[in-house]
């Protein structure tokens, strides 16, 4: 999802259908307010959430929306689908059609799914170079061998993408159950990692993204808005005590 940053003068020229030199005069006359303050700077960078007023006319006043959903198994991480219920069908928000998904989960994966209209936030969360950990609880068909831990830490070469996965942490919590933390989100990544040991994943549940955990009070299918501090927590290092 591309973030929508642009220069104030370009935005105004398009919105008011006026040439740049008229826009320059309008700005110098102090007729434009950016986030409540008069702005005369043509080069000023704005984004989709900048509040822009020209005289008494509000040109832009979009609010950022951040939602956490407890995605159930059997619901598709898409905004439209002909066959299955989508995660958007589970959300009740007036701006829901402007939202996009931050890191899809497979049809049969459950857990924390984030939705937003803020593409800068979602890009930060998804870019592998930002190394935001995504933690999953995994149930396997067969016993997990302790040797897996080193292989996960070293990374796996994925032929299709021609990449080696970033170091991942594997914590074995029962004979066939583990917590996995990965730093990127390649297609079917966790399943493919266990697939290297011919050990099929039978259940997969995302517990957290960065420092933001799924709210335990949300039943599968329920969602809620994030609080402002939680928007930052998703970008932070996790501080785990329990799950
Ligand atoms: N890895 C998978 O294999 N599936 C998911 O849904 C998420 C991570």
Residue 225: which of 59, 31, 64 has the closest Cα?
64
Q: Does residue 238 belong to any structural domain of this protein?
A: no
Distance of CA 224 to the CA centre of its chain: 15
- Of all atoms in ligand 1, which is nearest to the CA of residue 103? 7
Mean pLDDT across 87-97:
94
d(CA 12, ligand 1 centre) in Å: 43
Same domain, 56 and 73: no
Same domain, 209 and 142: yes
d(CA 70, ligand 1 centre) in Å: 15
Distance of CA 63 to the CA centre of its chain: 17
Confidence of residue 231 (pLDDT cuts 50, 70, 90): very high
pLDDT (0 to 100) of residue 128: 87
Look up the pTM and report it.
0.88
CATH number, domain containing residue 34: 3.10.290.10
Same domain, 123 and 170: yes
Which residues contact residue 208 at a Cβ distance below 8 angstroms, ignoring those fewer than 6 apart? 112, 133, 134, 135, 214, 238
Query: Is residue 53 a contact partner of residue 30, using CB atoms and an 8 Å limit?
Result: no
Query: Is residue 84 a contact partner of residue 74, using CB atoms and an 8 Å limit?
Result: yes
Residues in contact with ligand 1 (CB, 6 Å cut-off): 105-106, 109, 188-191, 204
Q: What is the per-residue pLDDT across 115-134, written as a single tens digit (0 to 9) for each?
A: 999 999 999 999 989 999 99
pLDDT (0 to 100) of residue 2: 58
Q: Is the pLDDT of residue 214 over 70?
A: yes
Confidence of residue 238 (pLDDT cuts 50, 70, 90): confident
Q: Does residue 111 belong to any structural domain of this protein?
A: yes
Q: Is the pLDDT of residue 39 over 90?
A: yes
Looking at the structure of the chain, the number of domains it has is: 2
Q: Could you give the CA distance from residue 25 to residue 32 in angstroms, rounded to a whole number?
A: 11
Q: Whose CA is nearest to atom 7 of ligand 1?
A: 105
Residue 207: which of 218, 197, 198 has the closest Cα?
218
In degrees to the nearest 10, what's the CA dihedral of 43, 48, 52, 54? 80
Structural domain for 146, as ranges: 66-233
Residue numbers annotated as active site: 106
Q: Does residue 243 belong to any structural domain of this protein?
A: no
């Amino acid at each position: 999802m591309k973030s929508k940053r642009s220069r104030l003068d370009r935005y105004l020229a398009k919105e008011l259908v006026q040439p740049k030199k008229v826009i320059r005069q309008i700005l110098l006359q102090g007729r434009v307010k950016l986030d409540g303050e008069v702005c005369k700077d043509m080069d000023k960078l704005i984004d989709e959430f900048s509040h822009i007023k020209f005289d008494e006319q509000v040109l832009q006043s979009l609010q950022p929306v951040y939602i956490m959903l407890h995605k159930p198994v059997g619901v598709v991480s898409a905004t439209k689908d002909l066959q299955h219920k989508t995660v958007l069908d589970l959300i009740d928000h007036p701006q829901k059609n402007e939202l996009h998904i931050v890191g899809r989960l497979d049809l049969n994966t459950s857990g924390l799914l984030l939705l937003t209209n803020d593409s800068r936030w979602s890009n930060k969360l998804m870019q592998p170079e930002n190394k935001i950990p995504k933690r999953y609880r995994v149930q396997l068909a067969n016993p997990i061998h302790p040797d897996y831990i080193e292989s996960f830490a070293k990374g796996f070469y994925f032929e299709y993408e021609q990449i080696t996965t970033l170091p991942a942490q594997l914590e074995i919590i029962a004979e066939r159950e583990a917590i996995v933390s990965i730093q990127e989100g390649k297609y079917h990544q966790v399943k493919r990692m266990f697939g290297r040991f011919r050990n099929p994943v039978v259940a997969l549940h995302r517990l957290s993204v960065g420092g933001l955990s799924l709210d335990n009070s949300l039943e599968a299918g329920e969602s809620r808005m994030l609080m402002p501090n939680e928007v930052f927590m998703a970008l932070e290092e996790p501080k785990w005590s329990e799950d």
